[in-house]
Chains A and B, each alone.
Chain A
Amino acid sequence: MQISECMKRNIFSIRRDEPLSKAVRVFSERHIGTLPVVDEAGKLVGLLQLRDLITLVMPDFVKFVEDFDFVTDFGAAEGRRPDPALLVQPVEKHMSPPEAVEATSGLLRASALLHKHDLHDLPVVDADGKLVGIASRVDIGTAFLKGWTISQGGGT
């Protein structure tokens, strides 16, 4: 199966020069984890992930203390808000490289890329690098299951 058969075609994306505050709105309104960043021509130029935004309010110690299960009350570290100056910055300052898969690729290649780059969603592009869809781990995973029921169902 090709990735284009299981991807979502109804994609939300953001332009590279738009502010982070817009991305915050899209993430929460659309309830998504990955936002592809595109240029004026619709070409994929980067990825903005939900965790990139969460990092902005994470306490610093998360980077240094491996397990902090001895903390039950995070006190002042809880409920932190990012610096408003950060939210007017363009998304391209916070995006990661534009990892993507070609629409003609198979499922195994797609899942290999997901794991290699530790992504939750994988953008799908055409031959020109234009964004045409996005496939989540669940989209790709369930696509693997297609056709299993007949052979495993007891020989109907």
Chain B
Amino acid sequence: MIAGGVALLIFGATLYVIFTEKLNRTIAAVTGATLMLTCGLALGFYTEEQAMSTVDIRTIGLLLGMMILVALLEPTGFFQYLAVQAARFSKGKPVRLLVLLGSVTTLLSMFLDNVTTVVLIAPVTILISEILGLNPAPLLIAEALLSNTGGIATLVGDPPNVLIASAANLSFNDFLVYALPIVAVAWLTALFLLRYLFRRELAVAPENADAVLHLNPAEALDDWPTARRILIVLGGAILLFFFEKPLGISPAFIAVTASSIALVWVRPDIRKILERIEWSVLAFFVALFVLVGGLEHAGVLSQLAGLIARVSDANPIILGVSLLWLVAGLSAVVDNIPITIALIPVVQSLAHSGLNVTPLWWALAFGAGLGGNGTIIGSTANVVVASLSERTRSPITSMLWNKRGLPVMLATLGVTTILYILAFQFLSR
């Protein structure tokens, strides 16, 4: 009982510090994990071996492998190349530019980390906007919102999906079959709503529309030989993702293998590549796993399961929709990774009580992804575009985000809820 109380206290205090941003989230999580293990050892509810086995190597491996591929692709100028091509195809028409840049960002972030994608596409977006004499804010907001939404469609698109897939044993193809169609509708909803919300900004006809036609995409692509190699490896990895189940291999194995092939083929300066890996994210994941593992071994989660066993008597559709909105609401105001990691054991404990939790996993994925659109701090991509725009003449304010992002979040959640209810039997398989 004391063990449970102590574990819960440490977990709660760590989440509080993370969510209030009193301390950097990685430092907070690592400190919390250390504290959890220390108390676990002292009170005898948690051992070092147990702590280590809670770290889901499949999640870490997949993230690390994909991060290495992106780190290799980043300096080649491939992302700039795509943005410049999109600008040329738009012929300087603002609406087309929004659709094309939004689509490029979405497609990239379906397979690569969407923060990196936005970090690389946003500066070029500002450049294109300035050449055209347009306000970059609508384009930047659209890129963040559309890539957040698109990332939900694939297993590798978003860290919460990686976590959920690993916990629920969902395959890459499961995401394409169950999540992609619903996300596609939500994405189109977001696009049309953005078109409407920014109708005034997008009605401007740029005087210098021709200037984008003079952009030279070939110059933007600094290192095509390297980019080509990484794209081949990445394509191979994505192809293997489709066959992970029949081949009996994990996405983590595929990603790590692909990254080592790419490293051998490109032979870059390894220190520079490793510098680009987001170690803080990986450390954050490891620490959160150890924290949640502490809760589990202290018996908190089984007590929790007993407590919410009554919930499982409720209508499963109502349960799913409630979870969708609850997670979305939470991840609009706080980071969706700790929310996902904290809720996964809860859903798992519901599964032990005999409930079919498959639709709940999808609710968790949709909620964690769509909720991030609601506020300027809802997802890292939002924070990235907002902080970039602060250094321009037209900064994106929290107020502007509430007027544009929040309606998008509510509309996509509404559409997703309707589709979720209609497809509930399908999603329960």
Contact = CB atoms under 8 A, between A and B. Distances in A.
Interface string B382-401: 00000010011100000000
Contacts of B215: 70-72
A61 B216 contact: no
Nearest to B119: A64
Contact of A74 (B84, B131, B217): B131
B133 interface: yes
B261 interface: no
Contacts of B210: 73, 75
Given A76-B206, A76-B208, A64 B131 contact: no
B211 interface: yes
Interface of B: 80, 84, 122-124, 126-127, 130-133, 206-208, 210-212, 214-220, 222, 388, 391-393
A68 B391 CA distance: 18
Given A75-B212, A76-B131, A76-B207, 10 more contacts: A60-B393, A61-B126, A61-B127, A69-B219, A70-B84, A70-B218, A71-B127, A75-B210, A77-B130, A77-B133
A73 B131 contact: yes
A65 interface: yes
A16 to B, nearest CB: 27
B80 A70 contact: yes
A97 interface: no
29 contacts: A59-B130, A60-B130, A60-B392, A61-B124, A61-B126, A61-B127, A65-B80, A65-B123, A65-B124, A65-B126, A65-B127, A68-B127, A69-B219, A70-B215, A70-B218, A70-B219, A70-B220, A71-B131, A71-B214, A72-B214, A73-B211, A74-B131, A75-B130, A75-B210, A76-B130, A76-B132, A76-B133, A76-B206, A77-B130
A30 interface: no
A interface SS class = loop
A146 interface: no
A63 interface: yes
Interface in A20-39: none
Interface residues of A, number: 17
Contacts of A60: 126, 130, 391-393
A75 B211 contact: yes
A19 to B, nearest CB: 22
A74 B123 contact: no
A72 B216 contact: yes
Report the 10 A-B pairs with minimum CB-CB distance, sorted nearest first: A76-B133, A75-B211, A75-B208, A64-B123, A70-B219, A61-B127, A60-B392, A75-B131, A73-B214, A70-B220
Contacts of B80: 65, 70
Interface in A37-88: 59-61, 63-65, 67-77
Nearest to B125: A61
